[in-house]
């Protein structure tokens, strides 16, 4: 399998769930892979699983200085970047009245501001051609209760897939959104809700899916491989929804 042979690929938030499975699939397809994570021990454990060839960077996706530092670190190891998968995210869900300014700003820093300045910092490294994949969410298209700040951040990120494509397409840089629907990952346990409210929300989420089940990280990772590969060279400025029909049925 060599759909990504010779490509240099960076995955943010690559230590669990969709990001980790995507790293596995990128490696299987021949890519050179780097991943980021906030926890050093978790990074080291994942590094042992993925192998010595994977670059590991401790980085906070909501810290702008870390985004600039990450770009410099990548440049010290690789001659270019062919694929950037912005996967790191804050999935906090809570009622409108439960938000304060600090929590709101933190979520927006991780989900929208950080990705914007990471792309800016990596711009000199991005090859011609290259693929930037922004992890959106079907939540940007529906009215799921308690998802207001999260959904707004993902809607902004999906807008960047269009506007940055318009700005960067002349440089051979394709930007697309990849939007998961409800997916069985550890993120479902990180919504920031009390246990009873989390269970209610889980039920609401599962009932949203027309095909009657949650997605898997592998299904999202396979879609990321497509967007990262030359097979998607005519796919620019759009959104691929891998959501079991939630956003359209």
Closest residue by Cα to residue 29 from 176, 178, 222, 188: 222
Angle, helix 40-50 to helix 17-28, in steps of 10 degrees: 30
How many CA atoms does the CB half-sphere of 23 hold within 13 Å? 28
- The length of the chain, given as a count of residues: 249
CA gap 93, 153 in Å, rounded: 12
56, β-bridge pairs: 35
- What is the H or E stretch that residue 71 is in? helix 64-77
Those residues whose C-beta lies under 8 Å from the C-beta of residue 36, and which sit 6 or more positions away, are: 10, 11, 12, 13, 14, 57, 58, 59, 61, 70, 88
Confidence of residue 219 (pLDDT cuts 50, 70, 90): very high
CA gap 131, 187 in Å, rounded: 25
Above 80 in pLDDT, residue 112?
yes
Closest residue by Cα to residue 15 from 27, 41, 121, 201: 41
CA gap 166, 40 in Å, rounded: 37
| Residue indicated by tokens 């929590």 | 103
Q: Which residues are tagged catalytic? A: 150
Question: Residue 213 burial by CB count (10 A; 0-12/13-18/19+): exposed, middle or buried?
Answer: exposed
pLDDT of amino acid 199: 77
Mean pLDDT of the chain: 94
Per-residue pLDDT tens digits for 181-217: 999 877 666 666 678 877 776 777 778 899 988 899 9
239, β-bridge pairs: 177
How many degrees, rounded to 5, is the angle at CA 18 between CA 17 and CA 19? 95
Above 90 in pLDDT, residue 120?
yes
SS3 state of residue 8: strand
pLDDT above 90: percentage of residues in the chain: 86
Per-residue pLDDT tens digits for 162-184: 999 999 999 999 999 999 999 98
Radius of gyration of the chain (CA): 17
Mean pLDDT of 41-54: 95
Alpha carbon of residue 196 to chain centroid: 28
CA gap 241, 190 in Å, rounded: 22
Domain 8-242 superfamily per CATH? NAD(P)-binding Rossmann-like Domain (3.40.50.720)
Angle, helix 114-122 to helix 148-168, in steps of 10 degrees: 20
φ, ψ of residue 145 in degrees (nearest 5)? -55, 145
Token readout for 62 is: 């909501």
Closest residue by Cα to residue 137 from 101, 210, 204, 87: 87
Mean pLDDT of 98-121: 98
């Amino acid at each position: 399998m060599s759909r990504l042979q010779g490509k240099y690929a960076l995955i943010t938030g690559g230590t669990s769930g969709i990001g980790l499975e995507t790293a596995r699939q990128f490696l299987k397809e021949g890519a050179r892979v780097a991943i980021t994570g906030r926890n050093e021990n978790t990074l080291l454990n994942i590094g042992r699983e993925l192998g010595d060839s994977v670059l590991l960077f401790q980085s906070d996706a909501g810290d702008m200085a870390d985004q600039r530092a990450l770009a410099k670190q990548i440049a010290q190891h690789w001659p270019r970047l062919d694929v950037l998968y912005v996967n790191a995210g804050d999935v906090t869900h809570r009622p409108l009245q439960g938000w304060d300014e600090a929590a709101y700003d933190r979520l927006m820093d991780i989900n929208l501001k950080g990705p914007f300045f990471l792309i800016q910092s990596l711009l000199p490294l991005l090859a011609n051609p290259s693929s930037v994949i922004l992890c959106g969410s079907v939540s940007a298209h529906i009215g799921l209760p308690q998802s207001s700040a999260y959904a707004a951040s993902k809607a902004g990120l999906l807008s960047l897939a269009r506007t940055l494509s318009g700005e960067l397409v002349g440089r051979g840089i394709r930007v697309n959104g990849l939007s998961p629907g409800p997916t069985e990952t550890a993120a479902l346990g990180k919504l920031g809700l009390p246990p009873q409210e989390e269970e209610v929300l889980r039920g609401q989420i599962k009932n949203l899916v027309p095909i009657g089940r949650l997605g898997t990280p592998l299904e999202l990772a396979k879609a990321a491989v497509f967007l990262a590969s030359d097979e998607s060279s005519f796919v620019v400025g759009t959104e691929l929804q891998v959501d079991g029909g939630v956003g359209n049925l």
